[in-house]
Structure formats: structure tokens, C-alpha cells
Amino acid sequence: MARAIITPLTQVLEEGKLTRKDLRALMQRSNGPAFRRLVLWIAVLTLTSTLIALAWDSWLVWPAMFLQGIVVVHHFSLQHECVHYTVFRTRWINDLVGQICGLIIILPHRFFRYEHCDHHTYTQLHGEDPELIEMPKSIWQYLWILTAAPYWKYKVSEVVRHAFGHLNEAERRFIPSVEHKSVFRDARMMLAVYGALLLGMVLSGWWAPVWYWFVPLLLGEPVMRVIRLSEHVGRPTVARMRENTRTNLVSAPWRFLCWNMNYHAEHHYAPSVPFHALPQLHERLKDHIHVEKNGYLGAHWDILRQLLRRKGEEVPGTA
């Protein structure tokens, strides 16, 4: 069966919500906004790392590591933008920063780029969207997903599988055959770096990466699960972008951390618009998209409401 390519932006242009001149202006890329945000990003990481050091001998080290983890897992947002080559105007800087972010969160950059391309082309389509997160079947499954345990099980096994030279059927569909060996090499190099780091820690007795990186990464990933579920889960699994994607209105600190990816519907309509121009695009499209005014909490209340409704509808049939 032929796989149809969805181009929702054409509809927006035809309806006059956005002109091609406006779009060209919004798509202008620049190194400046990203470098300025990176300076603040490093400052925030320095602050959270300092909090861990100050709280080292007390129970407060755990909330400090959790705060560090929230920042660490949001390297996904930066990597995501680098996948689209919209963070920096200079293409190779996007690749370099994306590779670094992928190493931090255990997500090989090249593989993610190909996977994410199909996510945009076939958003929310069963059997087509490789990043589709299925609507949970129960409250317990929903909570289990939020622990991030299923995510880590899948992602770690994915990297190991690639390191051994194996792709599943879905991956063979979206990764060009000429890139298979490169994907395998990326996974092997990533595991080699982790292995070398572990060996270095064992030999030197310097365990700082565990407490400033790996444990915070594990503590923070449930927060990223909350955010990732808010983007599409609970929305219709149809090709219409106006229906299948949420934009979540959140506070400035969250917008900073997620590189404006809370404007997720806008991003799907025009993936080539840089992160710093998404608020402007939102003003043009806010009446055309699904906007969750209560942010991430509102999105999850919507998901829970659907789960509770489903549970209530199942009760008569079980009697």
C-alpha cells in the first residue's frame, strides 16, 4: 500500500493563515539566538551541579540530582532541534551539538534523525509513525509509562541491537540501506565511549559522572515522559495535523528548557522554522491548531479523563 505524505502547511497557506513571505521570514536561521541560549544553558547546568555538591552530605542531594536530571533530559529538546538543522545557521554545528546531546541522553544522533523524519511524515499513523506512543489501556499502564522503565528497556536494547548489526523491520523502512553501517558504527562508538568512561571510573575511583550525569538522567527521564506524552497521546490517530498534535502553553522556564517545543503543533506544521521563531508562528496559527491552555498538566488531565471514561464504559460489559 502506498504511504501518503502529509503536507498540512499547504492547507494553512491556502487558507490565508500564513503567507509565503511570512513563512520565509520566520524560517531565517541565525547562530546568535542559539549561542545566547547555550550560555544560559551551561549556567543552569553549573547551578544545578553546584547544588549537588553543596547538598552532598545530606538527603537534599536527591532533589538536587532530580533538578539536574530535569535539565539533563532536556538535551533531547536541543538534539531534536539539531536534527532539523534549525538551532544554528551553520550546518556542521547542528551536527556536532546533536551528537553531543545524543551521547548525553543515550540517543545516537544519526539514527534519531532518520526516525524523526518518518515521525513528521506519518504523524500519529499506526504502523507508519516510528515514534508513535500508543494511548495507554489503563491507569496502571499510564503510570508505568511515566516511570520511564519501558522507555529505557527499549532504548538501551535498541542501541545494543544496532551495535550488533541488527535492524528491525520498521527501522529498515526509514533508514536508507547505504546508512545501515553508519548507524551500526554510531551505536558501537557510543557503547565504546560509555565503556571507556566506566573503565576510567573503576581505575581512578572518580565516580562523579554517576552522580552528576547518570543518576540525574534516570531521575529526570520521567519528566521527559510527561512532556513527550503531552505532544500527541490522547489526540486522534489521524493524518490531520490540526487534530493529532497538541500545543501546550507553559511558563517561561519550561519554554527555555524545551527550546520552545511546547509549540509542538506549530513545529509540525513548519519544521523548518527555528525554535526562536515558534512563538511568532504560534500567534499566526493559534486559531488553527489544538492548544492546551493549561500546559502539560492540562494535557495529562485530558489523557486521564479519556482513560477514566473508557474504564467507565467497560464496567457494564463486564457484569
Q: What is the pLDDT of residue 8?
A: 61
Q: How many CB atoms lie within 10 A of CB 140?
A: 10
Tell me whether residue 22 is in a domain: no
Tell me whether residue 114 is in a domain: yes
CB-based contact 121:6 (threshold 8 Å)? yes
User: What DSSP character marks residue 24?
Assistant: H
Task: Give bridge partners of residue 247 from the DSSP assignment.
Answer: 291
Q: Which of 178-187, 238-247, 255-264 has the lowest mean pLDDT?
A: 238-247
Residue 2 has pLDDT above 50, yes or no: no
Summarised one tens digit per residue, pLDDT across range 51-83 is 999 999 999 999 999 999 999 999 999 999 999
Tell me whether residue 3 is in a domain: no
Q: What is the pLDDT of residue 12?
A: 65
What average pLDDT does this structure show over 186-197?
Answer: 98
Residue 31 has pLDDT above 90, yes or no: yes
Number of domains in the chain: 1
Alpha helix ranges (H) inside 55-90:
61-73, 75-83
Tell me whether residue 9 is in a domain: no
Confidence of residue 246 (pLDDT cuts 50, 70, 90): very high
Closest CA to 235 of 145, 283, 143, 298: 298
Whose cell is 551495535? That residue is 163
What DSSP letter does each residue of 164-176 carry, written as one string?
TT---HHHHHHS-
Q: What is the pLDDT of residue 242?
A: 86
Q: What is the pLDDT of residue 13?
A: 67
What average pLDDT does this structure show over 168-187?
Answer: 97
CB-based contact 226:148 (threshold 8 Å)? no
Tell me whether residue 155 is in a domain: yes
Q: What is the pLDDT of residue 39?
A: 97
CA atoms within 13 A on the CB side of 153: 6
Average confidence score pLDDT of the chain: 93
Residue 14 has pLDDT above 70, yes or no: no
User: How many Å apart are CA 172 and CA 99, to the nearest integer?
Assistant: 22
Q: What angle do CA 6, 135, 171 make, to 5 degrees?
A: 55
pTM of the full predicted structure?
0.92
Tell me whether residue 132 is in a domain: no
Closest CA to 249 of 264, 238, 235, 237: 264
Tell me whether residue 5 is in a domain: no
Residue 47's domain comprises 28-126+137-310
Tell me whether residue 131 is in a domain: no
Please list, in sequence order, all residues whose beta carbon lies within 8 angstroms of the beta carbon of residue 223, skipping any fewer than 6 positions away.
Answer: 69, 70, 73
